[in-house]
Amino acid sequence: MYKIIKKKVLNPTVTLMEIDAPMVARKAEPGQFIILRTDENGERIPLTIADYNREKGTITIIFQVVGATTEILNHFEEGDSLHDFAGPLGRATNTEGKKKVAVVGGGVGCAIAYPVVKKFHEQGAEVHTIIGFRNNELVILEDEFKENSSKMILMTDDGSSGTKGLVTDALKKLIESGEEYDEVITIGPLIMMKYVCQLTRNYDIKTIASMNPIMIDGTGMCGGCRLTVGGKTQFACVDGPEFDGHKIDFDEAIARSATYKPFERMIHDDICKLYEAEVI
């Protein structure tokens, strides 16, 4: 069993948890993920490692409440335990040999971007971070990004915090001002990553996108997380989750990501009704 050491609500739909998982923490690196189950009959869900502490033996996860399992998980409290917590899985971010990078995160994807930014910063790279949210209420990890970035730009759709506009607006402005990057890393909603990659292709800047498709076993056997990259089938769980953003078929990935949304919403609503009934 994996005890929840810390729980913190970051915004109305996003929660941080620090989990006691020393075996996972010993090997974890930025860009990797875990798969958890809340109980023995629970669904397996992948969550990216948002941070890790080898000395304490803990892994930090940050998740958005969008489906039944994340709704259940959000009702767990400090001191409760998860049934399964497997990892680290996937390939770690390649941070070696890069002197200047731009990391572009959007929404809850910023939780994935943070350990990447932190690792680049610790290795002495110049890191320009752009994070985007719909509004001020949804902003997460702003101070943490500032602490680990040479330059940090906050964008919101409505201008309620930072600068009004899209992350691509900020990235384009930086590039056209003369900033030269060894690499751009983008993590967030698929549509955001698609347009970031379209932008950087125009400037011939290598771009890595972190993909989080439907996933079941996390070991490459089920095929649920397949993507088309450079015309070939790749599996996010073992070949990724990071891929060359200029080679990803984003339209296919976006279409596949919507496959189970109506079902997920229905089950999520049923779970919410069960919790509401318990309260009554």
Q: Report d(CA 237, CA 201) in Å as an integer.
A: 25
Q: What is the pLDDT of residue 218?
A: 80
Q: Name which of 214, 173, 16, 230 is nearest 108 in CA terms.
A: 16
The string of pLDDT tens digits covering residues 253-272 is: 999 887 666 656 666 565 66
Looking at the chain, the whole-number percentage of residues with pLDDT higher than 70 is 92
**Helices first, then strands: H and E counts in the chain:** 9, 16
First to last CA, the chain: 30
What is the maximum alpha-carbon separation in the chain?
Answer: 60
Q: Is 219 helix (H, G, I), strand (E, B) or coil?
A: coil
| H or E segment and range at residue 99 | none
The string of pLDDT tens digits covering residues 65-87 is: 888 889 999 999 999 999 999 99
Q: Which tokens go with 137?
A: 């209420």
Give the chain's residues under pLDDT 70: 259-280
Q: Name which of 265, 262, 250, 266 is nearest 213 in CA terms.
A: 250
Contacts of 70 (CB under 8 A, 6+ apart): 45, 63, 64
One-letter amino acid at 126 equals: E
Domains of the chain (ranges, CATH numbers): 2-89 (2.40.30.10), 100-210 (3.40.50.80)
